């Protein structure tokens, strides 16, 4: 897809990967519509030519408002980037069920609801792209964030099915699976604490800008899956070919994290 003059709607755009996507798509000449809770942050990012909708995406009225406002302003939605999400580090057997429901609402049900709103418009204009930002944890379950992993597995599976559902309408879907990205993600968790041993691995992280660039390239090239950094494919291969070995390694990491928490 040539992004010049195309309209891109980005959720969770006030910081992190979403904010970086604003700049990356804008550089390609795209028109930008953003939605998140912080109006102040969004207005700084969107600039005078962008469209801002501030609100909680778990509210159906906010979702409808951002889609309607985008269509009113630009007349089309060519790319939807479902980026909004949240984490949970509490062990699944201890986590508050309300937190689990909220995580699934934002990480899975909101993207589905957003797609249901934009697909009729994309189909009417002859096509479009839906980008769902998942995680490497949606390819390999990470035991220190089990519920989060489950939500991203669900998102990836749905994205693959949606691609086939919408192929005849000219609508393409992409799953994005970032590894560790340098953002404030860990500061906005619903519960639990990031194990120190896991937090230290942040030195191997990519930047939000690198992730956003990979997303934009994925849209331009109509990829099915964007896994960034690409070395993450090695982890996915081990999970498929040597699952017992990966289980053992992940268990060691998890037990080490638990021990550091207890000390």
In three-state secondary structure terms, 241 is helix
CA-based nearest residue to 222, from 127, 113, 123, 109: 127
Give the dihedral of Cα atoms 232, 238, 243, 246; nearest 10 deg: -70
Compute CA distances 122 → 51, 129, 170, 171, whole Å.
Answer: 19, 8, 8, 7
CA-to-CA distance for 156 and 147, rounded, in angstroms?
Answer: 14
Structure tokens at 92: 């699944």
The set of long-range contacts for 64-71, using a CB threshold of 8 Å and a minimum separation of 24, is 64/117, 66/9, 66/11, 66/33, 66/35, 67/9, 67/114, 67/117, 67/118, 67/121, 69/33, 70/7, 70/9, 70/33, 71/121
148 among known catalytic residues: yes
Q: Which of 148, 180, 251, 254 is catalytic?
A: 148
Number of separate helices (H) and strands (E) present in the chain: 10, 9
- Mutual angle of helices 146-166 and 110-125, in 10-degree steps: 20
**Which residues are annotated as catalytic?**
148
């Amino acid at each position: 897809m040539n992004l010049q003059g195309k309209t891109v709607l980005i959720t969770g755009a006030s910081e992190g990967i979403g904010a970086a996507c604003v700049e990356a798509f804008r550089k390609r000449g795209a028109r930008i519509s953003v939605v998140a809770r912080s109006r102040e942050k969004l207005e700084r990012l969107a600039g005078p030519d962008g469209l801002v909708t501030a609100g909680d995406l778990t509210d159906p009225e906010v979702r409808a408002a951002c889609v309607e406002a985008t269509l009113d302003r630009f007349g089309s939605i060519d790319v939807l980037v479902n980026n909004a999400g949240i984490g949970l580090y509490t062990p699944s057997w201890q986590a508050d069920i309300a937190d689990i429901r909220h995580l699934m609402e934002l990480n899975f049900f909101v993207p589905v609801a957003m797609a249901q709103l934009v697909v009729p418009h994309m189909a009417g204009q002859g096509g479009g792209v839906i980008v769902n930002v998942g995680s490497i944890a949606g390819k390999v379950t990470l035991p220190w964030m089990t519920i989060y992993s489950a939500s991203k597995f669900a998102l990836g599976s749905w994205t693959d099915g949606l691609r086939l559902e919408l192929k005849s309408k000219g609508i393409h879907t992409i799953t994005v699976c970032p590894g560790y990205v340098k953002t404030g993600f860990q500061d906005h968790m619903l519960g639990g604490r990031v194990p120190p041993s896991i937090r230290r691995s942040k030195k191997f992280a990519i930047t939000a800008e690198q992730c956003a660039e990979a997303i934009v390239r994925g849209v331009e090239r109509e990829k099915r899956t964007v896994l960034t950094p690409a070395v993450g494919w090695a982890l996915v291969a081990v999970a498929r070919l040597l699952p017992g070995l990966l289980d053992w390694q992940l268990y060691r990491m998890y037990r080490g994290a638990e021990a550091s928490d207890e000390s």
